A and B are shown apart, each in its own frame.
Chain A
Amino acid sequence: AQSVTQPDIHITVSEGASLELRCNYSYGATPYLFWYVQSPGQGLQLLLKYFSGDTLVQGIKGFEAEFKRSQSSFNLRKPSVHWSDAAEYFCAVGAGQTGANNLFFGTGTRLTVIP
């Protein structure tokens, strides 16, 4: 069965510091992996996705993520965090090849940025 684990419920970083949000997945086939961000009171915005090819994926807002099959991980990184990055971050794995797809989400990591 598919599942996604985000081990860190809440992370606090200083503005300008680097960031890494962890994501581990469980899926029997080739995973389709996503990172979404949800700002307070807002909807879900896609940061980046991995389908195949280069395992280092660049996204919007200066984020990147690296797919490591051996570790079943898809960690999100940013070299220098801005105050506007404070939000909830969700990792998801996509499953399904026909009919319709299903996104299985992790429980999210809340990012707080301090000045």
Chain B
Amino acid sequence: DTAVSQTPKYLVTQMGNDKSIKCEQNLGHDTMYWYKQDSKKFLKIMFSYNNKELIINETVPNRFSPKSPDKAHLNLHINSLELGDSAVYFCASSQVGGFVVRGRNYGYTFGSGTRLTVV
């Protein structure tokens, strides 16, 4: 069973289109994230949701809008796609809100990524 699954794995689309990437986790985690990996492999957080509530919203264009219908899902919708949006987008999840909670260690679980190519 895949713990954090993203769909689609590959997405090729034209400039100006609107697209969505879906993410689901079956780990019972409370917090989900979107990370962007650029062409130089640099990974940077975009958004974080805790129990459907937006917690982290880094400086990303407002064309990017995360949607969390429930705590097991965090989708990423992108409007008016641009060439510079081409990247690999990773979804991730973690338990609660801290790395160490009540003596237990938690970490991240990443999805396998969605390679978005805008042409």
Question: Which residue of the partner chain, among B41, B55, B108, B112, contacts A99 with CB atoms under 8 Å?
Answer: B55
- Count of chain A to chain B residue pairs whose CB atoms are closer than 8 Å in the complex: 77
* Contact yes or no, A94 B99, CB < 8 A: yes
Q: In whole angstroms, how far apart are the Cα atoms of A56 and B43 in the complex?
A: 26
Tell whether B62 is near chain A: CB-to-CB under 8 Å. Answer: no
Q: Tell me the B71-119 residues at the A interface (CB within 8 Å).
A: 90, 92, 94, 97-100, 105, 107-113
Question: Which residue of the partner chain, among B48, B56, B105, contacts A51 with CB atoms under 8 Å?
Answer: B105
* Contact yes or no, B107 A49, CB < 8 A: yes
Mark A residues whose CB is within 8 Å of B: 32, 34, 36, 38, 42-46, 49, 51-52, 88, 90, 92, 94, 96-103, 105, 107-108
B49 proximity list for chain A (CB < 8 A) = 100
* Contact yes or no, A101 B99, CB < 8 A: yes
B99 proximity list for chain A (CB < 8 A) = 32, 51, 94, 96-97, 101
Q: In whole angstroms, how far apart are the Cα atoms of A1 and B109 in the complex?
A: 24
A38 proximity list for chain B (CB < 8 A) = 41
Assess A90 versus B43: contact at CB under 8 Å? Given A42-B112, A97-B98: yes
Assess A100 versus B33: contact at CB under 8 Å? Given A43-B90, A94-B99, A107-B42: yes
Interface flags for B16-49 (1: CB within 8 Å of A; 0: not) read 0000000000000001010100001111110011
Assess A101 versus B31: contact at CB under 8 Å? Given A43-B111, A43-B113: yes
Q: In whole angstroms, how far apart are the Cα atoms of A46 and B99 in the complex?
A: 15
**Which residue of the partner chain A has the closest CB to B10?**
A41
Closest chain B CB from A45 CB (angstroms): 8
Closest chain A CB from B23 CB (angstroms): 12
Q: In whole angstroms, how far apart are the Cα atoms of A108 and B70 in the complex?
A: 33
* Contact yes or no, B41 A88, CB < 8 A: yes
A42 proximity list for chain B (CB < 8 A) = 112-113
**Which residue of the partner chain A has the closest CB to B41?**
A108
